[in-house]
Amino acid sequence: MLEAKSRWTPYWQAAPLALVFLIFFILPLLVTFIVSFWTYTGYSIAPAFVSDNYLTAFDKCFSSLPDLCTTFRTYLSTLKFCFLVWLITLVLGFTIAYYLTFEIKTPTMRIVLALLTTIPFWTSNVIRMISWIPLLGRNGLVNQALMGAGITSQPIDWLLYSSFSVTLSLVHINTVFMIVPILNSMSRIDRSLIEAAYDNGASAWQTLWNVIIPLTKTGIAIGSIFVITVVMGDFISVGLMGGQQIASAGKVIETQITALQFPIAAANAIVLLAVVLMIIWTMLRFVDIRKEL
Amino acid sequence: MTKTTTGGISRRTLLKGSAITAGFIGTTAVTGFPAVHADEPITLRYLSTATNQSPAIAAKAKEVTGINVEYVTVTTDDVTKRIITQPDSFDLVDSEYASLPNLIPSGNLMGIDAKKVKLVDKLATVMTKGEINGKKIGDQGTAPHKVFYLEKQRGKEFAKEQTEWITLIPTTYNADTLGIRPDLIKRPIESWAELLNPEFKGKAAILNIPSIGIMDAAMVNEAMGLVKYGDKGNMTKEEIDKTIATLIEAKKAGQFRAFWTDFNESVNLMASGETVIQSMWSPAVTAVRLKGIPCTFQPLKEGYRAWASGFGLPKTLKGKKLDAAYEFINWFLDGWAGAYLNRQGYYAAVLETAKENMEPYEWAFWMEGKPAEKDIHGPDGGLLEKAGTVRDGGSYDTRMGAVACWNSTMKENAYMVQKWNEFIAA
């Protein structure tokens, strides 16, 4: 009796979370998948099993090569931002986490500084991005300062509504997602390992490369997953900061939903999900998060 | 019991209403709305965009009719989406006529009984017939008069002739054109073609709402002599291809500074000087001007792109709520709300009653295109225009008379959206 109970204990303990996942994650995903094969008009969607939506999403994608079709061009642009933002947030996040862990001596100060890194989250995403406009705009602070200092004679246009501003705002928003997990795994590194490396004559770079980085791999992987999934699905930052002139996979889906074309939007969502899953799967080839947690 | 009472009074009011309609309309200053709701207030959930909502209108409606108006605020596209996906989530909707080709076949709205709308014969002819003073105006696209009547109350087809079932009772309508910064352009602008003039390279914007953006683009293409359209509001695939091709070419050449999707974005772009010429909406131009920055809603020789919206009823509405909805609509057409909307620069559905609720100098400025005798104030009391100014585009007859096309839902909508995404990605 007691044995039977204990055998089932883990299951019912996990049940509430499993249920939440089932209702709010698995089911919607399943519905999205099913709907992606339906047909639609401007005002209705009808159950069917057609691949038209996927065919439309990849319309002329293979026949027009080497010219890129809309979908390929959109994903290429999204992937470009993804890579850039990932790289910059990684370098920034790692450096900040390193500084907080190894250079700051008192735990109180460390906590205070770590909390400071969350400042960008004290306001909403949209407000954060809107505040870039008076800074980077044609008549913004940066341009005024540059022209006032005599460095440029004309306002620089590419500061705003460009790939530059999109990357900048995405880095601004996402760096903290990198800092936190890296900080977490870094603070768990046993200091004696670093001392041992030093005693054995390792240089600072060698210690970093051979001791610290391998031991923070989990944090890096988790941070990367956060950043990559957020950037791949983002359309608000890309829209506002790119002056809506830069396509993103999310925006394509949003436009289609707005036009009430739910099935094709669902098909595009499934494609986006597949791309993101492939990236994450590739990353997990390098780091076994579960083993190292 | 209460129910019967309410019904009876409503019917009586309606009888009175039709008597008035038959006889002398001009003199109907609020003829005693039933006070029966006072002890048992009815709440109407009013779905629309922020543009069509105002706490002042809701407060006045409550004061006169006793009906509580609870605004449900969403974006233009979400109004359509809500009607199609959640038709029970509102009691009254203010939607664009342009969405009707999608809304009516869904069967989620019911025809409004013309007999219960007191001022139905006084609705602006721009809406009901597509004409002003007997003269036809442009009707390309989903012009309201094409989708004004249903064959039967729960019909899914538009009627070609006048019937007693109305799809939407007009609330507001207006004619849109390009907004410009006269201080930065420094020369007259007369044609839609100027939007793609290389002179404004990197300083132009178009709106990124495909169904409206494509119409502005069509006005530009036609003005440039690049494409000849059968109906700009119902393009063929070939016409869509050509229209988008022009846009892509301009985008690649760096013509556009940005695209915008909401009101505030368009105000910011123009006020900050990021753009000097762009698609714009009338209240956005006013908003820029209120900041002390010169901005003109420029009339162009090819004409305006017009839009209109109106009240619709969800098919499930019945009983007291249905009566209240009709009562609210009747109050709305009775003049107070119309005057309020006219002062915002929109046009009211029933002009006569709106006129009675405006000062003569206000009417002369907003509707007759005359120079303002005194300072013009908005409905909230803020100063809009100084004495002596003339409204951009002039009088009602001149502006609405110069409409070239209407916002629309095309038959090739799905294809158009696909091509629009291609333009954004280009």
Residue among A253, A165, A243, A134 nearest B265 (CA): A243
Is B208 in CB contact (< 8 Å) with chain A? yes
Q: Which residues of B touch A245 (CB under 8 A)?
A: 251, 256, 258-259, 424
Is B103 in CB contact (< 8 Å) with chain A? yes
Contacts of B203 (CB under 8 A, 6+ apart): B257, B274, B275, B276, B277
- How is residue A75 written in tokens? 């994903």
Do the domain assignments include residue B384? no
**pLDDT surpassing 60 at residue B4:** no
So what's the pLDDT on residue A132?
84
- How is residue A140 written in tokens? 């913004």
The DSSP code for B372 is P
Is A41 in CB contact (< 8 Å) with chain B? yes
Same domain, B154 and B273: no
Q: Report whether A100 contacts A113 (CB < 8 A).
A: yes
Nearest CA in chain A to B75: A258
Q: Which residues of A touch B248 (CB under 8 A)?
A: none
Same domain, B26 and B163: yes
**pLDDT surpassing 60 at residue B9:** no
Do the domain assignments include residue B225? yes
Q: What is the pLDDT of residues A60-117, one digit of tens each?
A: 788 777 778 888 989 999 999 999 999 999 999 999 999 999 888 888 998 899 888 8
- Average pLDDT (B322-345) is 94
Same domain, B199 and B65: no
Do the domain assignments include residue B419? yes
Is A61 in CB contact (< 8 Å) with chain B? no
Same domain, B75 and B103: yes
Do the domain assignments include residue B364? no
**pLDDT surpassing 80 at residue A6:** no
Nearest CA in chain B to A138: B274
Q: Check A42 against B101: CB less than 8 A apart.
A: yes
**pLDDT surpassing 50 at residue B312:** yes
A69-292: CATH topology? MetI-like fold (1.10.3720)
Distance from CA of B56 to the nearest CA of A (A): 28
Q: Check A259 against B422: CB less than 8 A apart.
A: no
Poorest-confidence range of A79-83, A111-115, B24-28, B127-131?
A: B24-28
Q: Residue A255 is nearest to which of B268, B421, B426, comparing CB atoms?
A: B421
Q: Which residues of B touch A44 (CB under 8 A)?
A: 84, 105-106
Q: What is the CA radius of gyration of chain A?
A: 24
% of chain B with per-residue pLDDT over 70: 91
Is A161 in CB contact (< 8 Å) with chain B? yes
So what's the pLDDT on residue B384?
86
Same domain, B336 and B293: no
Q: Which residues of A touch B265 (CB under 8 A)?
A: 240
Q: What is the pLDDT of residues A231-290, one digit of tens each?
A: 999 988 898 888 888 889 998 898 888 888 899 999 999 999 999 999 999 988 888 777
B369-376, long-range: CB within 8 Å, 24+ apart, which pairs?
B369/B393, B369/B394, B369/B395, B369/B396, B369/B398, B370/B395
Distance from CA of A52 to the nearest CA of B (A): 13
Burial pattern A211-224, b for ≥16 Cβ within 10 A else e, equals bbeebbbbbbbbbb
Q: Which residues of A touch B256 (CB under 8 A)?
A: 243, 245
H-assigned helices in chain A: 2-21, 27-35, 52-57, 70-98, 107-116, 125-130, 133-136, 141-148, 163-187, 191-199, 204-207, 213-233, 236-241, 249-258, 262-286, 289-292
Burial class of A127 by CB neighbour count within 10 A (0 to 12, 13 to 18, 19+): exposed
The pairing of beta strand B131-132 with beta strand B296-298: unpaired
Same domain, B24 and B97: yes
Burial pattern A2-14, b for ≥16 Cβ within 10 A else e, equals eeeeeeeeeeeee
Nearest CA in chain A to B108: A43
Separate counts of helices (H) and strands (E) for chain B: 16, 20
Q: Check A73 against B425: CB less than 8 A apart.
A: yes
Burial pattern B205-215, b for ≥16 Cβ within 10 A else e, equals bbbbbbbbbbb
Nearest CA in chain B to A39: B414
Do the domain assignments include residue B389? no
Nearest CA in chain B to A139: B272
Do the domain assignments include residue B390? no
Q: Given pLDDT bands bounded at 50, 70 and 90, which one contains residue B20?
A: very low
So what's the pLDDT on residue A291?
65
Distance from CA of B29 to the nearest CA of A (A): 41
Task: State the CATH number of the domain containing residue B77.
Answer: 3.40.190.10
Q: What is the pLDDT of residues B275-303, one digit of tens each?
A: 999 999 888 898 898 888 999 999 999 99
**pLDDT surpassing 50 at residue B399:** yes
Residue among A92, A246, A233, A93 nearest A164 (CA): A246
So what's the pLDDT on residue B414?
87
Q: Check A244 against B260: CB less than 8 A apart.
A: yes
H/E stretch holding B417: helix B413-425
Give the integer Cα–Cα distance in Å for A62 and B275: 38
Same domain, B295 and B315: no
Q: Residue B421 is nearest to which of A70, A137, A245, comparing CB atoms?
A: A70
Three-state secondary structure readout of B130-153? CEECCEECCCECCCHHHHCEECCC
Do the domain assignments include residue B182? yes
Give the integer Cα–Cα distance in Å for A258 and A261: 7
Q: Report whether B269 contacts B257 (CB < 8 A).
A: yes
Do the domain assignments include residue B312? yes
Is A133 in CB contact (< 8 Å) with chain B? yes
Question: What's chain A's average pLDDT?
Answer: 88
Q: Which residues of B touch A43 (CB under 8 A)?
A: 84, 102-103, 105-106
So what's the pLDDT on residue B255?
95
Please give the biggest Cα pair distance in chain B. Answer: 71
Is B49 in CB contact (< 8 Å) with chain A? no
Give the integer Cα–Cα distance in Å for B102 and B105: 6
Give the integer Cα–Cα distance in Å for B205 and B259: 5
Euclidean distance between the first and final Cα of chain A, in Å?
35
Give the integer Cα–Cα distance in Å for B259 and B426: 13
Q: Given pLDDT bands bounded at 50, 70 and 90, which one contains residue B62?
A: very high
Poorest-confidence range of A146-150, A209-213, B11-15, B286-290?
A: B11-15
Question: What's chain B's average pLDDT?
Answer: 88
Q: Check A245 against B81: CB less than 8 A apart.
A: no
Task: Look at residue B391 and give its three-state secondary structure.
Answer: coil
- How is residue A277 written in tokens? 């899953």
Task: Look at residue B46 and give its three-state secondary structure.
Answer: strand
Is B107 in CB contact (< 8 Å) with chain A? no
Same domain, B20 and B130: yes
Is A39 in CB contact (< 8 Å) with chain B? no
Among left, alpha and beta (phi > 0; psi -120 to 50; other), residue B236 is beta
Is A249 in CB contact (< 8 Å) with chain B? no
Q: Which residues of A touch B412 (CB under 8 A)?
A: none
So what's the pLDDT on residue A4?
55
B270, B418, B419, B423: best to mutate for the A interface, most A CBs within 10 A = B418
In chain A, domain spans = 69-292
Task: Look at residue B228 and give its three-state secondary structure.
Answer: coil
Is B274 in CB contact (< 8 Å) with chain A? yes
Give the integer Cα–Cα distance in Å for A269 and A233: 9
Residue among B277, B97, B145, B91 nearest B199 (CA): B277
Give the integer Cα–Cα distance in Å for A217 and A185: 8
Q: Check A255 against B261: CB less than 8 A apart.
A: no
- How is residue A36 written in tokens? 């992606």
Is B258 in CB contact (< 8 Å) with chain A? yes
% of chain B with per-residue pLDDT over 90: 74
Domain that holds residue B241: 178-302+395-425
Q: Check A259 against B413: CB less than 8 A apart.
A: yes
Same domain, B295 and B414: yes
Q: Which residues of A touch B257 (CB under 8 A)?
A: 161, 243
Same domain, B233 and B124: no
**pLDDT surpassing 90 at residue A25:** yes
Same domain, B189 and B246: yes
**pLDDT surpassing 70 at residue B353:** yes
Same domain, B52 and B136: yes
- Average pLDDT (B34-42) is 61
Is B388 in CB contact (< 8 Å) with chain A? no
So what's the pLDDT on residue B12?
41
Three-state secondary structure readout of A163-211? HHHHHHHHHHHHHHHHHHHHHHHHHCCCHHHHHHHHHCCCCHHHHHHHH
